Chain A
Amino acid sequence: MIDIKLISKNNLKLLIDTILNMRKIVIAPKRKSNRLYFSRVQAFADIELDFVQTALSAKSVVFPRNEELFNYIFDGKNVIIKNTEPLKQEVIIFGIKPCDASSFDYMKEFFLNENPDVHFKTHFENTTIISFACKEADDFCFCTSVGGSPTNTKGSDIMLTQINENTYYAEILTEKGKAIYDLAPNLFDINDELDKKRYTAEVPVKFDCSKLTNKLENVFEHPLWLKNSLSCLGCGTCAYACPTCTCFDIQDESNIYGGSRVRIWDTCALGLFTQHASGHNPRSIQSQRWRQRIKHKFEYSKENLGYISCVGCGRCIRLCPGRLNIVDNIISLVEEN
Chain B
Amino acid sequence: MENKNMYVPYLMTIDEVRLEAPLVKTFKLSFVNEEDRDNFSFKAGQFGEYSVFGEGECTFCIASPPTRKGYIECTFRQAGRVTSALNNCEVGDIIGFRGPYGNTFPIEDWYGKNIVFIAGGIGLPPVRCVIWNALDLRDKFNDIFIIYGARTVDDLVYKNELEQWETMHDVNLFTTVDPGGETPDWKGKIGFVPTILKEVAPKSENSIAIVCGPPIMIKLTLPVLAEQGFSNDAIFTTLENRMKCGIGKCGHCTVGPYYVCKDGPVIKYSELLTLPQEF
Contact = CB atoms under 8 A, between A and B. Distances in A.
Interface in B34-79: 51-58, 77, 79
A275 B3 CA distance: 32
Interface stretch (B102-110, B133-141, B240-248): B240-248
Contact of B5 (A118, A251, A268): A118
Contacts of A193: none
Interface stretch (B6-14, B163-171, B225-233): B6-14
Nearest to A112: B2
Interface stretch (A36-44, A74-82, A90-98, A196-204): A74-82
B207 to A, nearest CB: 29
Contacts of B249: 110-111, 115, 117, 246, 248
Interface in A168-218: none
Contact of B215 (A254, A261, A280): A280
A246 to B, nearest CB: 7
Nearest to B96: A79
Judged by DSSP, the binding face of A is mixed
Interface stretch (B143-151, B251-259, B265-273): B251-259
A250 B7 CA distance: 10
A247 interface: yes
A321 interface: no
B54 A252 contact: yes
A85 B83 CA distance: 28
A273 interface: yes
A258 B94 CA distance: 13
A250 B248 contact: no
A278 B79 contact: yes
A259 B53 contact: yes
A114 B276 CA distance: 24
B214 A116 contact: no
Nearest to A295: B256
Nearest to A268: B251
B93 interface: yes
B80 interface: yes
A118 B80 contact: no
A5 to B, nearest CB: 35
B55 A115 contact: no
Given A115-B247, A252-B56, A247 B252 contact: yes
Interface in B69-127: 77, 79-80, 83, 92-94, 96
Contacts of A304: 257
Given A70-B5, A247-B251, A81 B11 contact: yes
A178 to B, nearest CB: 25
A254 B7 CA distance: 17
Interface in A241-262: 246-252, 254, 258-259, 261
Contacts of B54: 74, 252, 254, 258-259
Contacts of A154: none
A118 B3 contact: yes
A274 interface: yes
Given A78-B94, A118-B5, A282-B241, A300 B256 contact: yes
Contacts of A248: 244-245, 249-251
B185 interface: no
Given A220-B276, A278-B79, A77 B93 contact: yes
B161 interface: no
B245 A250 contact: yes
A276 B242 contact: yes
A30 interface: no
A87 to B, nearest CB: 12
Given A115-B249, A252-B56, A259-B53, A79 B241 contact: no
B245 A116 contact: no
B152 to A, nearest CB: 17
A121 B56 CA distance: 24
A59 interface: no
Interface centre among B5, B241, B248, B276 (most CB of A within 10 A): B5
* 5 closest A-B pairs by CB: A247-B251, A254-B54, A277-B79, A300-B257, A69-B7
Given A252-B56, A277-B242, 18 more contacts: A69-B5, A69-B8, A79-B53, A114-B248, A117-B6, A118-B4, A247-B250, A250-B244, A252-B53, A254-B53, A263-B7, A266-B250, A274-B241, A276-B240, A282-B241, A282-B255, A300-B256, A303-B257
28 contacts: A69-B5, A70-B7, A70-B8, A74-B53, A74-B54, A77-B93, A78-B94, A114-B262, A117-B6, A118-B4, A118-B5, A247-B250, A248-B244, A248-B249, A250-B56, A252-B52, A254-B54, A254-B55, A259-B53, A273-B252, A276-B240, A277-B79, A277-B83, A282-B241, A282-B255, A292-B254, A300-B256, A303-B257
